[in-house]
Amino acid sequence: MKVWAIANQKGGVGKTTTAVSLAGVLAQRGSRVLVLDLDPQGSLTSYFRYSPDDLESSIFTLFQNQAVNPYSLVRPTRFEGMHILPATMGLATLDRQLGAKSGMGLVISKALKAMTDKYDYALIDCPPMLGVLMVNAMAACDHLVIPVQTEFLALKGLERMLKTLTMITRSRSVRLPYTIVPTMFDRRTRASTETLRLLRTRYVDDLWNSVIPVDTQFREASRMGVPLPMLLPQSRGVIAYERLLNALLSHDAKQAQTAAI
Ligand SMILES: Nc1ncnc2c1ncn2[C@@H]1O[C@H](COP(=O)(O)OP(=O)(O)O)[C@@H](O)[C@H]1O
Ligand SMILES: [Mg+2]
């Protein structure tokens, strides 16, 4: 199982959309995909028509009792090959209630290891704040995807995110690979083109060489609770996410090759 986390401490940059779209394309290609909602807001959970306010069990259950079989908390979605580990409101209290308890940083990592044969990919939608959930996501993933909205001030948020990454992953023996993904790109606006230009000068190695364009269909797909790849496979937004997926896959393949030498 490959584990990718999608994170940025800034909200509204396209994290949930990226998780849903990549998962949708993977499922369409026949992969078994698990999406995990680590955001107490529960947007990903709501996307798949579960209510973060009413669910009796969720990822939060795992943090309360690590003896629970994580697979018993997984729920189906309406889409073949896509399952979800949902969020509930309780996640918002995690840092206060259990953050200081030892062993809390590896809960997700252990849960995914226990399900490693069940899925080809696990995609983690991260919360927009630093805390025990973000620590868990970074400990569990093999690759971090950082969506950055192409607008003014976006680079400040990215710098913060990269600082957090360095801080959290300090104890790793090898650097956690990450890919910066410019999102909501509108080539008619100066904010978009200027931000992209700055990203390209500052983050040469870890920047994806293309962009996710603004596409109003994402909002429509979200309203309908359908991943855009399943709704409009030919839309420009989906074509961009297919390209991103291919880039992530070839990045991982290259890495595996280097590791094998
Ligand atoms: N490429 C895009 N083009 C247009 N709207 C988008 C795009 N990506 C995301 N959105 C919309 O922007 C809003 C925020 O996106 P979301 O993925 O929820 O961000 P985050 O998870 O980072 O808070 C949502 O309404 C979503 O539908
Ligand atoms: Mg979100």
Q: Give nearest CA residue, ligand 1 atom 16.
A: 14
> Mean per-residue pLDDT for 122-131?
95
Å from CA of 18 to ligand 1 middle: 8
Pick the CATH number of 2-260 from 3.40.50.300, 1.20.120.640, 1.20.1240.10, 3.40.190.10: 3.40.50.300
Q: Give nearest CA residue, ligand 1 atom 6.
A: 218
pLDDT band at 95 (very low <50, low <70, confident <90, very high): confident
Residue 59 near residue 98 (C-beta atoms within 8 A): no
> Mean per-residue pLDDT for 23-35?
98
Distance CA 112, CA 119 (A): 9
pTM: 0.97
Q: What confidence score (pLDDT) does residue 227 get?
A: 98
Place of tokens 């018993």: 72
Residue among 62, 79, 77 nearest 27 (CA):
79
Distance CA 244, CA 89 (A): 31
Residue 128 near residue 10 (C-beta atoms within 8 A): yes
Q: For 130-179, what is each residue's pLDDT tens digit?
A: 999 999 999 999 999 999 999 988 999 999 999 999 999 998 888 999 99
Residue 158 near residue 31 (C-beta atoms within 8 A): no
CB under 5 Å of ion ligand 2: residues: 15-16, 43
Å from CA of 214 to ligand 1 middle: 9
Q: Which atom of ligand 1 is nearest to the CA of 10?
A: 22
Closest ligand (CA of 39): 2
pLDDT band at 102 (very low <50, low <70, confident <90, very high): confident
Å from CA of 126 to ligand 1 middle: 14
> Domain map of the chain by residue range?
2-260
Half-sphere exposure of 168 (CA within 13 A, CB side): 24
Closest ligand (CA of 42): 2
**Which of residues 172 and 243 earns the better pLDDT score?**
243
Closest ligand (CA of 17): 1
> Mean per-residue pLDDT for 174-190?
96
Lining residues, ligand 1, CB within 6 Å: 11-17, 43, 183-184, 212, 214-216, 218-219, 222, 237
Cα separation values, 201 from 96, 194, 204, 206, 247, Å? 40, 11, 6, 11, 20
